[in-house]
Amino acid sequence: MNANYCPLDYTMNLIGTKWKPIVLFHLLEGAERSGVLQKKVPGISNKMFTQTVRELEKDGLISRKIYPVVPPKVEYALTARGKSLEAILKSLDQWGIEDKKAF
């Protein structure tokens, strides 16, 4: 069964979903408030947004900071581990730009 495991699989299990890369990508510019961040992700439902940031937090790729104010305020930011994905995220984005030109 296990003929040729490759770490690529490990990476994809962390970020290889529909929404995770997009959320991470937008956080490259800096911390964002929850609602603002969500609006930057076209088409995501509230449920999927919550689910996505929860998993990213659990995996230590982003941090969640809660401000005890009214109305509630929550900010998300990349952790060091999350920032280490910067090159990959930008490559993915760049490839998309180049590929669209060619095809």
Partner DNA sequence: CGGCATCCAGGTTGATACTG
Partner DNA sequence: CAGTATCAACCTGGATGCCG
Question: In the chain, how many H helices and how many E strands?
Answer: 6, 3
Which residue lies nearer to a copy of itself by CB, 29 or 67?
A: 29
Nearest Cα residue to 63 out of 24, 5, 93, 11: 24
Mark the segment that binds a copy of itself (CB under 8 A) among 13-21, 49-57, 64-72.
13-21
- Give the interface with DNA as residue ranges (CB under 7 A): 17-19, 33-36, 38, 43-48, 50-51, 53-54, 64, 66, 71-74
Whole-angstrom distance, CA of residue 55 vs CA of residue 67: 21
Work out whether 52 is an interface residue with a copy of itself (CB under 8 A).
Answer: no
